[in-house]
Structure 1
Amino acid sequence: MTTAPQSTMPPPYMETESDGLGAWLIRVPLLMFGGGLLLALLIFASVMAYQSYHSDRIYPGVRVGAVTVGGLSPSEAQAALDAAFPYAEETVFTFRDGERAWQMSAADLGVALDAEATVSQAFAIGHHQNPVNDLAQAANAWFNGVSISPIIIYDQSVAQAKLAAISAEIDQGVQMPSLAINGTEVLVNEGQTGRVMDVPATLANLEAYLTSLQTGAEIDLVIREAAVDAAHLQEAAEKIRIALSGPVILTATDEAGNALGPWTASVEQIASLLHVEQVIEADGTSSYVVDIDMNAFESSVGSLAPGLIAAPHDGRFHFDPVSRQLEVIQRSTSGRELNVAQTLTRLQEAVFDADYRVVPVAFDYTLPRFHNQITAAELGITELVSESTSYFMGSSQNRRTNIAVAASRLDGVVIAPGEEFSFNALVGEIAEENSFVEGKVIFGGRTTSGVGGGVCQVSTTVFRAAFTGGFAITERNSHGYRVGYYELNGQPPGLDAAIWQPERDFKFQNNTPYHILIETSIFPDQDALQFRFYSTPYFRVEVDDAIVKNIEPAKPTLYEANNDLQPGQAVQVDYAAEGADVTVYRRVYTLDGELMMDDYAYTHYLPWAAIYEVAPGDSRLNSS
C-alpha cells in the first residue's frame, strides 16, 4: 500500500522542541514589563488617590506634641489641639518675696496656644505643591512620623505689667541714717534700707520656664536692695554720749607742787561745740566723724599762760677739794611754758574718754644750764682760784642777819665763761619779805636806819675775791666814807663795793674759758665772812698795797636828840673816819706771764664825823 506523500510545512501552532525555549525568553520580559507597567499605573493611581484624599487633610503620622493630627482637616486638628492643650489656663506660677507670695496662671502672664499657626505648620507637611517633595514628606510622615511643637504665643508686655504691679507693692525708698544733738540729748535715726524689684531680671527667670512649657513653678523675685550703712552710726552716737557724759576739768600745779585751778569745760559748752560729719567712702559705705571745735578753748587756755610760766633755776653746788666732785646744795628745777596746742589736744582727747576727764596742763620744759647731775670736770672746776675774807666784829644782830641772808643768796652760784655776775640780780630785792631786816645804811650823806644794813659787807667781800682773782670788774661803786668793818684785821682801804638798789650794783665778768663756782661761808666764832672762787687757774694776779693820799681829818663829833633815850644815855650811830684818796693797782697775767690787764680800783672817801644820839635836853646837843 502506498501511502500518500506527506507535506513538509509544519502546522502553524505546533512547537518544536527547539522553538519552545526561545519563545519564552521573549514572552517573559514582555509579560513582566506589561505587569510592571500595570502595577505602576496602579500605584500611581493609588498615590494620586491618596494625595487627592489628603489634599485638605493633614497627612497621617503628623503629631503636635502628644496629639495625633494626621488624617484630620485643619479645623478638626485645631479643635483637637484646643481640647488637648489647657496649658495657659492650668499652669500656675508663684512669685515669692520672703513670706509674701503672688500666684498667676500662664494666661495671666500673656501666654496662649496659637492652634491655627500650629495646625498650619502641621498641614504644610506634604502640601508644598512640589509632587516629588510632597510625596517624600508624606511618605516620611507615614513611615517615621513627624512631631510638630505647639506654637505658644507669649505677650511679654502682659507679664511685664503684672510684675510691675508686684514691684509697686514691694518697692520702698531709702531713708538715710542721721545723728543730731538736741541740747545735751543724742537723737539717732538708723534709716531704712531701700528695696527695688528688678522687673527685667525677674521676667528673664519667668521666661526660662515658659519657653520650656514648665507646668508651673515657684519663682523668687529678684530684689535689689539699696543698703543703709548704719554700721558706724551707733559707734558715733556712743562717742557723742561719752562727750556729754560730764564736764572736762583742766588742772595744773605751781613750781612748789601746789594745785592751781581747776578750770572746767561744762557739758553745755561741750555740746555747743560738737559737730558730726558723714563721710562717703570710695566703696559707697559711709562713716561718721564726731569732733569738737577746740578753737573756742584756745583763747581761754592761752590766757592761763602768764600764771603758769616758770623760769628754769640752776642748781647750786659746793666743791669737794678732796674728791674733786660737786655736791648739790640746792637742786635745779626746769623752766616751763604752757604748751597751748598740746593742752588743747589733751582736752579734746578727754572729751571723748569716759574715764579720763581730768586733764593736766601740758608744758614745754626748759632744762637748767647747771642741772643736778653736772660734774666739776664738765664745768672746768678743779681748784680754789681766789678767796676773800672780811670781818664784822661789833655788828648788831640785825646786821649779822642781813650779812648771812645776802651771803646765802650767792652760795653755790655758777658763773659761765663770758657771763656777767650781778650782785643785785642774784641777791634779789633787799626787802623784809625776802628775809632782810632793818639795820644801819649810808643814805643821804649819813648813816641811818634802813632795811638791809650790812649787805654792803657781802658785796665788798665778793668784790675783793673778783678783784684779786683777776676777773674783769664791770661795775663797782665805793662808799662815801671809810667803813671800819672793811678794814678790820688789817684789811686795806679802797676795796669796798657799795650797793643801793636798784641804781647801784656790783658786777664782774668771767673772762676765762672755765666756769666759776662761788662758795660763801659765815664763821660766827670769828665774826668772819668768806668767799671762795673755784675754777681752773687761768690768771696770775699781782695786787699792790693801797696808796692812800690826800688824807683829811675826821669831822667833829655830832650829837642828835632821840626822844626814846633817857637822860645820860648816848648811842653812837655813826663813826668818825678820815677822808682820803685811795688807789689799789693790780696786774693780771696769763699763766705764761703775758700781761692781760693793768688796772686799779680808785676810791675818794669824804671825811666823816662820829654821830651820837642822846636824850632831849642833853648839854652836848648845844656843842654840836
Structure 2
Amino acid sequence: MSRRRVTEFLPFLLPLRRKQKIWCFYQKMKHDGHRYARHQAENRLPYLQYECTQGLINPDSGYDIQYQYNKAHNLKVVSRRMQQLIIEPGEVFSFWQLARGADHDDPYLPGLGLHDGKIVPVHGGGLCFMSELLYWMVLHTPLTVIEKHPHLVISLPANPNAEMPAGIDATIQEGWSDLKFRNDTDRPFQLILDFEEASVHAQFRCGQPPQYRYEVSGSELVYSRKKGKIFRTQQISRTLYAAESGEVVRQEACYTSRSRIDYPLSPDTEIIEEDEG
C-alpha cells in the first residue's frame, strides 16, 4: 500500500502546501545561476526568424465556448509580460519568471484546466496554449530548450484552428513545471505577440540575418490501446535549411510525443492493440 500524503487526510493544508511549493520554486530559480530575460524593448529587431498565426478558440472542446473566450483573455493578459521581450546571448527565457503576478491589475478569468484528473474551470485556465505556442516557435530557431514537460494525459481534442501538430506539447504549472529556453547564439532574439480577437500572430525576430530556416513536422498520429487506456503517439522532427541557398543542412528527430487520451475519439478511428506486457 502506497503511503498517504498528509494533505489527503488534512485537506485544509493544501493551500499552505501550494504556497510553500511556489515559494521554493522561485527561490530555486533565484539561485540557479541563470540570467533570465526581462527586458521588453520599444522597437522591434530588424530580421525575421520565424512567424506564425494560431487560432485561439477551439470549437471542438466539448465544453461551454465561453471558456475558450476566457482563455483568449488570459493569454492576452500574460502576453503583456512577454511582448517584444529581448533574449540576449546567454540569457534564459522562463515562462513563470515573466508570468508571475501578470494578472495583478487585470485578473484572469476561469478557463478549462485539469484538476484531480478532471477538466474543470480554474483561475487562469488555458495558459498552456501559450507555452505550447512558444515551444513550437522555439523549434524554428537555434534557441536551446532546457526545460519542457509533456502532458501525461490529454483531456481535450486538438484545436482545428491551430497550425501546430498535435504532438507539440509543453505544459506549465506554477510551482511545479516551467518552459525554459536559452540563447546560446551570439545574437539577440526578440519575441513578438500580436493578438486579434480570436487569433495571435507570433514572431521571433533577431538582430542579424538568420543563418537557417527550420521546418518542423509531425508524423501521422497513431492511436493505440494498452490495459484499457488509449494513447496517442506522434514523432516530431525538423529539417534545417541554409537561409541563403535553401540547401538542406541536416534533419533531426526532435522527440516522440506520447500521451494518454481522455476524450472520446471518432468511432472510425483506427486503434492498434499494444502488447500488455
Q: 1:418 aligns with which of 66, 83, 90?
A: 90
TM-aligned CA deviation for residue 423 of structure 1? 0.9
Specify which of 196, 200, 205 is matched with residue 529 of structure 1. Answer: 200
1:501-544 alpha-carbon deviations (Å, 9 max, x no partner): 121111112232111111111111xx112221111233424435
Q: Does 1:515 align with 2:188?
A: yes
Output one character per residue of 1:571-593: Cα deviation in whole Å (capped at 9) or x when no partner.
Answer: xxxxxxx6311121124466586
TM-score w.r.t. length of structure 1: 0.31
Counterpart amino acid of 2:201?
A: Q
Q: Secondary structure at the match of 1:398?
A: helix
Q: Choose the corresponding residue for 2:47, options 383, 404, 409.
A: 383
Secondary structure at the aligned position of 2:39 is classed as coil
**Matched position secondary structure for 1:488:** coil
User: Superposition RMSD on alpha carbons, in Å?
Assistant: 3.0
Which AA in structure 1 matches 2:41? R
- Name the counterpart of 1:505: 178
Judging changes above 3 Å, is the alpha-carbon distance between structure 1 residues 432 and 439 closer, same or farther for their aligned structure 2 residues? farther
* In 2, Cα distance between equivalents of 1:484 and 1:425: 29
479, 496, 507: which one aligns with 2:169 = 496
Aligned to 2:137, what secondary structure does the other structure show?
helix
The 5-angstrom pairing of residues 417-436 of structure 1 reads 417-429=89-101, 435-436=107-108
The partner residue of 1:392 within 56, 61, 85 is 56
Cross-structure match for 2:237: 585
Report the equivalent of 2:139: 467
Shift in CA distance, 400/315, structure 1 to aligned 2, threshold 3 Å: closer
Choose between structure 1 and 2 for higher RCO, CA contacts under 8 A separated by at least 6 residues. 2
* 8 Å CA contact retained: 1:582, 1:604: yes
Displacement of 1:499: 0.9
Change (3 A) 1:549 1:491: closer
| Inter-partner Cα distance in structure 2 for 1:604 and 1:511 | 28
2:224 to 547, 552, 563: 552
Structure 1 CA distance for aligned equivalents of residues 193 and 216 of structure 2: 25
The 5 Å alignment of 1:294-309 reads: none
Q: Structure 1: how far apart are the matches of 2:192 and 2:50?
A: 11
- Flag the 1:490–1:398 CA change in 2: closer, same or farther, 3 A: closer
- Indicate the residue corresponding to 1:538 in structure 2: 210
Q: 1:318 to 1:478 in 2, by over 3 A?
A: farther
Q: Which residue of 2 aligns with 1:604?
A: 258
Q: Describe how 1:149-188 pairs up with structure 2 within 5 A.
A: none
Deviations 1:38-62 (A, max 9, x none): xxxxxxxxxxxxxxxxxxxxxxxxx
For residue 597 of structure 1, report the CA deviation from its aligned partner.
8.1
Tell whether the 8 Å contact from 1:590 to 1:596 is kept in structure 2 after alignment.
no
Contact 2:239 2:248 in 1 (8 A): no
Question: Aligned partners of 2:116, 2:85: CA distance in 1, in Å?
Answer: 33
Residue 605 of structure 1 aligns to a residue whose secondary structure is: strand
Partner SS, residue 604 of structure 1: strand
Alignment partners' CA distance in 2, 1:537 and 1:478: 32
- Give percent identity, aligned residues only: 18
Give the whole-Å Cα distance in 1 for the aligned partners of 2:174 and 2:141: 26
Deviations 1:348-390 (A, max 9, x none): xxxxxxxxxxxxxxxxxxxxxxxxxxxxxxxxx3211112332
CA distance in 1, matches of 2:114, 2:219: 24
For residues 484 and 514 of structure 1, what CA distance do their matches in structure 2 show? 38
Change (3 A) 1:471 1:589: farther
Structure 2 residue aligned with 1:316, among 41, 44, 48?
41
Superposition TM-score, scaled by structure 2 size: 0.66
Rate the CA distance shift 1:503–1:425 in 2: closer, same or farther, 3 A: same
Q: Distance in 2 between matches of 1:485 and 1:429?
A: 29
Aligned amino acid, residue 410 of structure 1: M
Distance 1:423 1:388, change over 3 A: farther
Q: CA deviation at 1:432?
A: 6.4
Q: Is the 8 A contact 1:436 1:451 kept in 2?
A: yes
1:446 to 118, 123, 135: 118
Q: How does 1:300-379 map to 2 (within 5 A)?
A: 314-319=39-44
The offset of 1:481, in angstroms, is 1.1
Give the letter for the 1:385 counterpart: Q
Q: Secondary structure at the match of 1:463?
A: helix
Specify the code of the residue in structure 2 equivalent to 1:520: L
Answer yes or no: is the 8 Å Cα contact 1:475–1:507 preserved in 2. yes
1:609–1:430 Cα change, 3 Å: farther
Residues 446 and 583 of structure 1, relative CA distance in 2, 3 Å threshold = farther
Structure 1 residues not aligned, in runs of 5+: 1-312, 320-380, 557-577, 611-624
Using the TM superposition, give the Cα deviation of residue 402 of structure 1 relative to its aligned residue in structure 2, in angstroms. 0.6
Distance (Å, rounded) in 1 between the aligned partners of 2:251 and 2:82: 26
Kept in 1: contact 2:70–2:111 (CA 8 A): yes
Deviation at 1:552, TM superposition (A): 3.4
Residue pair 1:579, 1:605 contacting (<8 A) in 2 also: yes
Q: CA deviation at 1:494?
A: 0.8
Q: Hey, what's the Cα distance between the residues in 2 that align with 1:537 and 1:588? A: 15
Looking at structure 2, the residues matched to 489 and 400 of structure 1 have their Cα atoms a distance apart, in angstroms, of: 13
1:475–1:539 distance in 2 versus 1, CA, 3 Å: farther
Query: Computing the radius of gyration over CA atoms, which structure comes out larger, 1 or 2?
Result: 1
